[in-house]
Chain A
Amino acid sequence: MIAAAVAANATIHVPAIRYLAIMPVIILLGGAVLLLAAQSLVRRPLRLRFATVSTVVISLSAFGLAWWQWADVMDHGPYTTIAHAVVTDGFSVLVTVLVTSATVLFALVAEGYLAREGIEGGELHVLALVSASGAILMGQANDLVIVFLGLEILSIALYVLTAYNHKRTESGEAGLKYFVLGGFSSAVFVYGIALTYGATGTTNLAQIAGFLSRNVLVHDGVLLAGMSLLLVGFAFKVAAVPFHMWTPDVYQGAPSPVTGFMAAVAKAGGFAAFLRVFVSSFGVLRADWRPIVYVLAIVTLLLGAGLAVVQRDIKRMLAYSSINHAGFVLLGLQAASAAGVSAALYYLFAYAFMVIGSFAVVAVIGRSGDMEHDIASYRGLARHQPVLAFAFALLLLAQAGVPFTTGFLTKFQVVVASVDGHSVPLAVVAMGSAALAAFFYLRVTVLMYGPERAAEPVPAAAGGALFAPASELRTRLNAALLLEDVPAAPRVVAAATGRVPVPPLAALAIGICVLVTVVFGVFPAPLVDFAHKATLLFLP
């Protein structure tokens, strides 16, 4: 009876949908469902090679569609669809390209990893595809609700991915930790959406911007509270200090290929929405949020670099380094300008390749069990496997910002944006933290290119460190910081000698990452222009 009444009174208005806009998401999700179905229908566990190939094919078709979208956007301009909830513009296309490339690389790295660990089945691939679709949706979201939807799709898949390796207890622990803290931050985020809706009467990003530019709120407490909660939610996702606590544990605990994927995709998705919401929707309020982001960026940069220095575990070190990188991207956000957004996008894009490549090496070196992550395991790597060591050194140096790699251009562009936005001290702090960061990247390089065996440990001085002579203290400091004489942790000693087998597909992935990092570092124009044009076509 009720249904009849509704039908009599009004027809349900179905918004027009341009399918090209959501096609990449549909392909990824649909592909994930198909893969899952295939897995349930066959009797034996899915062949690993089949899962890898289908993931690569699915991601590559989404990747191809993204370029179709790009051509479309270049020709006809950006547009919104599904009642303005989803937007397709240069910005979203770049995020899609980034996320789909990251997924391809992840599948390549994961194959060797799964084979080595003896984990069967294609669930890892299904989850990665789902998570990628969430990240793309965050890049396309034009409505806070869609942002939340994307965030949850991304995160929930990642929680499971983190805990995926059931043979490692750390993995489960990390997954649980990520889940609890992530759930908490999602709650904060939803509350932020609610308060913003209360203050502006809409959740649509363009309409929020329109409302704020037309109205001056006399009592803006609710709005500012909503904005702050959104800021906290985003800061958690992109691992900005002081909302970074989960990062080292989760990065360390997650299976190494997943960590690389997470560092690239979760950051990209999080920052994409962060940039869109703050630069466009809350653009009018930039005087309110820029100082907050300024402080956030400074602590993120310094704490990220500073704490990375004292890490012995390579995954924890890279986790803190990713926090430092998040600080750099915040520079782009803090500039709150087109140059800033473009620089941030470029940063995310280049960083994705650097970090996936780095974690691919970590996954390879981790050996069976994914446990060998003490940096002492890298000692003398260059002697056994010069190519692998060189690739890793290159990726690390690129992260440090060495010239003629994309790593330099990332830092250069955010610094330009930051100076342009009159935040010179922030730029100085950022580059200072880069020097600090160079230190811990080099430390790994020193070990890789050093002798195979640790020198004899320095005997402890008799009679109190306080009164040790200056030279003694200096030697100790060197040992502590520069690892001239770091003895390997007991567990490592037995296993960490000899060649490590490098699965061919992982080698391919590392090769791609190195190539992208170097080629676009020497010939920067295509990638820089991509980010630049993507920002010019930034819709709301």
Chain B
Amino acid sequence: MKVNITIDGIKLKVDDSLTVLEAALENNVYIPNLCHHKDLIPSGSCRLCLVEINNRKVQVIACKIKVEEGMTVITDNPEINFIRQMTLELLHVNHTQDCTNCMKNTNCQLQEVTSYIGTNETRIEQMRKNRPLIPVDTSNPFFNLDHNKCILCGICIRTCNEIQGVDALQYGYSGFDTLVCTFLNKPIKESVCESCGECVVRCPVGALIPKNMQRPSRTVKTICPYCGVGCGINLGVRGEKIVSIEGDYESPVNKGRLCVKGRFGYEWINHDERLKTPLIKKAGKFVESGWDEALELIAKNFSKYKSHEFATFSSARCTNEENYVIQKFTRAVMGSNHIDHCARLCHAPSVAGLAQSIGSGAMTNSIKEISDAASIFAIGSNTTESHPIIGLKVKEAKWNGAKIIVANPRKIDLCKFADIWLQHKTGTDVALLMGICRVIVDKNLIDESFIEKRSENFDAFKRSLKEFGLDYVEKITGVPAKQIEAAAEIYASNSPASILYAMGITQHTHGTDNVLAISNLALLTGNIGKLSSGVNPLRGQNNVQGACDMGALPVVYPGYQKVADPKAKQKFEKAWNCKLSDTPGLTLTEIVNSAYNKKIKALYLIGENSLLSEPDANHVRKSLQKLDFFVAQDIFLSETARLADVVLPAASFAEKDGTFTNTERRVQRIRKAINPVGNSQPDWWITCQIAKKMNRKGFDFKNSEEIFNEVALLTPSYKGISYKRIEKEGLQWPVNDEKHKGTPVLHKDVFPTASSKAKFFPLKYRPPAELPDKQYPLILTTERSLYHYHTGTMTRRVDGLNQLNERELVEINPVDAKTIGVNDGDKVCVTSRRGNVDAVAKITNKSPAGTVAMSFHFFESPTNVLTNPALDPVAKIPELKVCAVMIEKG
């Protein structure tokens, strides 16, 4: 509602939710302030925003008073100024007067306030206490904390509390000695700080300041290249270098927020080790070559192979345009459907499972809806580490009153925010979920009208629940029956309820069953197709959703049009003017095996580091070594690219235009900020050149926009999207025509299945393929670190991220550590049936007894040497989350 107020005689109509300070600032009336920040709850600690209200001669602070109808506000008179000046001088007394050497100079709010209010230098000098300077805390690799410049406004403390929910900082000590400090006033690096830098961007003075800060000469709006959240960022460019990244406040995804990788992890872009020119292996050694020579060699060799001998690994790191061109090349030029990408290793079961049950394997809701859910069920997702910005949304939901259920074998950070934490045994998700379903059915908490109107196969599903009595479920999962009952009640009776899941669900030999169990649960309570209510697989890579959408999969063309469907085949044959194969291709894991058996002879691998990312890495190495001809295209010479015959240097996300589709199906623009380093080229350009060298038509694209227009023409869900429409803000597919506004919530009225109804699936519990035994007594599960990304090609080249997490740590429960006889920090050797890896032990309660966890970011400790390549029969995803290992002191 709007109210009428008068500020300094100016009549204004403002929203009644505003404070006096906000109303003034919004209408360009400056009231001096230091502790106010638009993202934070007002604290009223700096006492500078004094005003007089309704002609009462009392000074009150404007940040704590809401506007009211008819209110009159005076922002400036001698009384107000007198108090403000005294307050300000007291701040200056404790502030280092070293403005010219401060990076915040000219950008400092204390300076701004001082120039407005004015100070009396003599008085300040008289009051100044000559105390020794406090040493600057330089422990964090990305920013410094200088207490001598701190004005104790508390913005950093409130940011860490209200926005991040990390609470690394708090006021410590008292009186003159008051400091912003960490637990025990230890250096920041040793605290629980996650280095997100949100406090640094909000610090009004030079107390929290980025290290090695260089001011950019221009900024370019684009999208973060790390995880699937797809945060908006502004790249700061100076000359030909990226020197800073700031969160994009206009982005509907992150509203300016970023995690540590997104904000500080950009050093790799201009890293010396970037590939700058094509490399051809001659006599076992790489020799630099020109583009022409390399492309001709590739064209000549690719032409030699029959379609069934050729395969492509596309990349979820590349743009939609590039994935489109790459799959078009594989299908139209090479006549092969053997194209796949790393989605096989993450959400293949979501694509396969959800397509069967609800018709589409994508998040049904938007990221911003998460914070409005009444209950959230996060299973198999370490949200705060793997999708940090979505993690913030879950915390926000908690603060908004939502009930949070976390199901995870490990005591992840999110457990702190959970109302119930179900610590089920690794790989027992089907039993747990079916147990929850059983409780919901038994207690009649089901949504009968939804089940009747919008679903099918409920009776068969209900019969399959018989097996999952709570005694049986408790025995399998290790979760007390009471907790299962409580979780079921919370989920079923707090609508809208949202399910978030990730690799903990999918990377199993029963990954597809897990996904189906999740959709069963959502359907049972009608929690789908509504705002904040649905099934939300959190996609891993920046463009893994897009790579799937673009048909970089063996069974579908762009827009999930099946290669086996004659109509689709005809459509694409006409569009691409060629003959296409209707035999579904091999999956990524099958391609590796076929290479081993010499059935696949040539491989075109783009932006994938299979040696670190795929299970049973030793087998992968042997398979790739058996290839006749192997082309790798990447931004760095990855461990995998070293095995290639030809290596092509690709441009990074900062050096090209295009689009990424994030986990909430939002197609967003990325923009070229600098020229490709050295002689590198965008991936789409490279693939087009190979096609042209092979004398194929249909690859004469001048820029990425032309490619996108072809995509929109052939992909129904992208039909209404154009570069012009997503200039400012991305659109969420399906976008049916040029006027359609996108689809934040899927399945509102119908499900895109043959019957237009969702389908229940009866399920049975199957244990993981490899369980611990006498020789290999522990379960190894794989994890991710907040500080690194996947195989570390990018993040391991960021010095600061390496400092924050420098080596592979095997997280071992204290009980197991005692049995093995290792202490925290000891070197250990982890062995499975497939190989062994050296790492360092970290003794922690995060891992349950009997289970250890490792990430896969470190080439020195390639965890995937250990993991089990056993596949899910439907989605062909390997069981990366469970394998049996033994640990010895190394």
To the question of whether A and B form a pair in one complex, the answer is no
Binding site for A on B (CB under 8 A): none
